[in-house]
Amino acid sequence: MKYLIVGLGNPGAEYKNTRHNIGYTVLDAFAEGAGIAFFDKRYAYRAETSIKGRTLILIKPTTYMNLSGNAVRYYMNQEKIPVENVFVIVDDLALPFGTIRIKPKGSSGGHNGLQNIQDTIGTSEYARLRFGIGNEFSRGGQIDFVLGEWTKEESEKLKERIDIVIEAIKSFPLIGIEKTMNAYNNK
């Protein structure tokens, strides 16, 4: 059985440690812990691993955030992965820093990456994990905040929060989305 794990972000060094790239950051940490590497493939950086007989295809779309759906559709088709086996990791302004919210489906919530995935694959019935980045910005400062780097205080807490997200990613193919939600929401 195959699963597509999608970490949303933007390619390029200028985005590396930004809040918007939490999906990339999580998958980089996952790959490091699993001893696997990403390779620059069509539409995405791609890595592969397995957990108890389940294959996990990890992708970090290189199409930029607002066109993430192209990479998701391509790998779903290429690897013959059904939508119920797709899990997307994304940043969320509406959640306090480090908060994790897993859902089996839902709206884009105004997130351009999620909206493009929904538009491109034709459904919002895919699992997603929203990682809270907070909303500590003044009026008109949203873009700079989202594309800004983590504060020192956030950076100190980030590894612990990322480790929990990695546990949730591993849980998804083993026990399913409902039990993963129950185990990791509010953790």
Q: Which residue, among 75, 92, 96, 81, has the nearest Cα to 22 in the 3D structure? A: 92
**Residue 154: its pLDDT value, please?**
95
Q: What is the pLDDT of residue 136?
A: 82
Instruction: Using alpha carbons only, give the angle 70, 71, 76 rounded to the nearest 5 degrees.
Output: 105
Give pLDDT, residue 149: 94
Tell me, what's the pLDDT at 91?
96
Domain range holding 29? Answer: 2-184
Task: Tell me, yes or no, if 111 is annotated catalytic.
Answer: no
Is there a contact between 108 and 187 (Cβ–Cβ < 8 Å)? Answer: no
Which pair of structure tokens corresponds to residue 18?
């930004």
Please check whether residue 169 is in contact with residue 180, taking contact to mean a CB–CB distance below 8 angstroms: no
CA 103 to chain centre: 13
Residue 186 is which amino acid?
N
Res 150: pLDDT: 95
pLDDT score at 186: 82
Instruction: Read off the CATH number of the domain in which 171 is found.
Output: 3.40.50.1470
Q: Which of 4, 11, 19, 20 is catalytic?
A: 20
Domains of the chain: total: 1
Q: Report mean pLDDT in 10-residue bins for the chain, 187 residues.
A: 97 94 98 97 97 97 95 98 98 95 94 96 97 88 90 95 98 97 93
* 2-7 vs 54-61, strand pairing mode: parallel
DSSP codes joined into one string, 54-65:
EEEEEEEESS-G
Q: The pTM is what?
A: 0.96
